[in-house]
Amino acid sequence: MLSLKNLLRRKVRTLLTVLGIAVGVAAVVVLTAFGEGMARGFGAVGSTSDADLLVSQKDAIMILLGAIDEEVGDEIAAMKGVDEVAGTVVGILQMPETPYFLVAGEDPRGFAIGRYRVIAGHALISKRELMLGRQAAENLKKGVGDKFRINDISYRVVGIYETGASIEDNGAVIHLDDAQRAFDKRRQVSYFKVKLDDPRQRDAVKAQIEERWEKLAATRSGDPTSQDDVLKIYSSMGWFLGLFAILVGGLGMMNAQLMSVMERTREIGVLRALGWRRRRVVTMILSEALLLSALGGAAGLAMAVSLVALLSRTASMGGFLNNTVEPSALIQAVVIAVVLGLVSGGYPAWRAARLAPVEAMRAEAGASVRWGLLARILAPLMRGAALRNLLRRPTRTLMTVVGLGVGVGLIVALSGILEGSRQLITQLLSAGQADIIAEQAGASDATFSSIDERVADQIRTHSAVKAVSRLIFGTTTVPGLPFFMVYGVDPREGYLPHYRVTEGRTVQRPGELILGRMAANSLEKGLGDDLRLSGQAFEVVGIFETGISYEDTGAVLSLRDAQRMFGKPRQVSFLGISVYDPARAAEVAADLERRYPELMVSRTADLSSRMQDFATMDAVFGALMGLMLLVGGIVMMNVMLMSVFERTHEIGVLRAVGWRGGRVLRMIITESLALSLLSALAGVVIGVGLNALLALIPDYGDVLGAVYSAGDMGRVLVMAVGLGVVGGLLPAWRAVRLRPIEALHYE
**Tens digit of pLDDT for each residue in 635-662?**
777 777 777 776 777 777 777 777 887 8
Domain boundary (592, 608, 624) is at 608
Residue 115 lies in a domain: yes
Q: Is 147 exposed, middle or buried (0-12, 13-18, 19+ CB in 10 A)?
A: exposed
- Buried/exposed code over 406-419 (b: 16+ C-beta within 10 A; e: otherwise): bbbbbbbbbbbbbb
- What is the rounded average pLDDT of the residues 3-11? 64
433 lies in the same domain as 571: yes
pTM for the full model? 0.65
The Cα-based distances of 601 to 265, 441, 597 in angstroms read: 68, 8, 9
Residue 228 lies in a domain: yes
Tell me, what's the pLDDT at 378?
46
159 lies in the same domain as 269: no
* Residue 536 contacts residue 557 (beta carbons within 8 Å): no
pLDDT more than 90, % of the chain = 11
Question: Which residues constitute the domain of residue 515?
Answer: 424-608
What lies within 8 Å, CB to CB, of 394 at 6+ separation is 369, 371, 374, 375, 378
510 lies in the same domain as 543: yes
Higher per-residue confidence, 54 vs 224: 54
The Cα-based distances of 572 to 424, 484, 486, 560, 647 in angstroms read: 20, 18, 13, 10, 68
Distance CA 202, CA 205 (A): 5
Residue 123 lies in a domain: yes
Tell me what the pLDDT averaged over the chain comes to. 78
* Residue 357 contacts residue 272 (beta carbons within 8 Å): yes
The Cα-based distances of 705 to 283, 419, 610, 612, 681 in angstroms read: 47, 9, 22, 21, 21
* Residue 348 contacts residue 289 (beta carbons within 8 Å): yes
Check pLDDT > 50 for residue 369: no
Tell me, what's the pLDDT at 214?
81
Tell me, what's the pLDDT at 284?
80
Give me the long-range contacts of 327-336 (CB less than 8 A, separation at least 24). Answer: 329/29, 329/32, 329/33, 329/36, 329/304, 330/29, 330/301, 332/28, 332/29, 332/32, 333/25, 333/28, 333/29, 333/297, 333/300, 333/301, 333/304, 334/297, 336/25, 336/28, 336/246, 336/297
- Buried/exposed code over 233-260 (b: 16+ C-beta within 10 A; e: otherwise): ebbebbbebbbbbbbbbbbbbbbbbbbb
* Residue 47 contacts residue 114 (beta carbons within 8 Å): no
438 lies in the same domain as 541: yes
230 lies in the same domain as 360: yes
- What is the rounded average pLDDT of the residues 545-556? 81
- What is the rounded average pLDDT of the residues 473-479? 78
> Please, what sign has the CA dihedral across residues 530, 532, 533, 534?
positive
Q: Is 151 left (phi over 0), alpha (psi -120 to 50) or beta?
A: left
Residue 381 lies in a domain: no
Distance CA 628, CA 401 (A): 14
What is the per-residue pLDDT across 172-229, written as a single tens digit (0 to 9) for each?
999 999 998 888 788 889 899 999 988 888 888 888 998 888 888 888 765 666 666 6
- Dihedral (C-alpha) 105, 107, 111, 117: value to the nearest 10 degrees? 50
The Cα-based distances of 558 to 155, 375, 420 in angstroms read: 38, 65, 28
Tell me, what's the pLDDT at 382?
45
Residue 384 lies in a domain: no
* Residue 62 contacts residue 204 (beta carbons within 8 Å): no
What is the per-residue pLDDT across 722-738, written as a single tens digit (0 to 9) for each?
878 877 777 778 777 77
Residue 554 lies in a domain: yes
Distance CA 63, CA 216 (A): 11
The Cα-based distances of 134 to 122, 192, 541 in angstroms read: 13, 25, 53
Distance CA 69, CA 334 (A): 50
**Which residues on adjacent β-strands are paired with residue 542?**
504, 514
431 lies in the same domain as 541: yes
9 lies in the same domain as 90: no
Beta strand 172-175 with 101-106 is: parallel
Tell me, what's the pLDDT at 275?
76
115 lies in the same domain as 39: no
- What is the rounded average pLDDT of the residues 62-67? 76
* Residue 108 contacts residue 175 (beta carbons within 8 Å): yes
Quick one: which of 662, 682, 664 has its CA closest to 723?
682
The Cα-based distances of 244 to 410, 614, 706 in angstroms read: 7, 22, 19
* Residue 449 contacts residue 439 (beta carbons within 8 Å): yes
Beta strand 555-558 with 481-489 is: parallel
Quick one: which of 320, 61, 326 has its CA closest to 165?
320
Q: Is 737 exposed, middle or buried (0-12, 13-18, 19+ CB in 10 A)?
A: exposed
Distance CA 394, CA 371 (A): 7
318 lies in the same domain as 274: yes
Tell me, what's the pLDDT at 745?
56
Residue 57 lies in a domain: yes
Lowest mean pLDDT of 205-209, 539-543, 718-722, 742-746, name the range: 742-746
What is the per-residue pLDDT across 397-441, written as a single tens digit (0 to 9) for each?
777 787 778 778 878 887 887 777 777 777 666 665 678 888 888
188 lies in the same domain as 270: no
Quick one: which of 696, 468, 722 has its CA closest to 578?
468
- Helix or strand run (H / E) with residue 623: helix 612-646
Distance CA 45, CA 62 (A): 10
Q: What is the tally of structural domains in the chain?
A: 3
Tell me, what's the pLDDT at 504?
92
Helix-helix angle 11-44:612-646, to 10 degrees:
160
Distance CA 97, CA 314 (A): 9
63 lies in the same domain as 159: yes
232 lies in the same domain as 200: no
Tell me, what's the pLDDT at 515?
92
Quick one: which of 539, 427, 562 has its CA closest to 486?
562
Residue 311 lies in a domain: yes
Distance CA 208, CA 543 (A): 37
DSSP 8-state class, residue 596: -
- Buried/exposed code over 672-711 (b: 16+ C-beta within 10 A; e: otherwise): bbbbbbbbbebbbebbbebbeebeeeebbbbbbbbbbeee
Domain boundary (338, 367, 396) is at 367
Domain boundary (204, 220, 236) is at 220
- What is the rounded average pLDDT of the residues 696-725? 73
DSSP 8-state class, residue 659: -
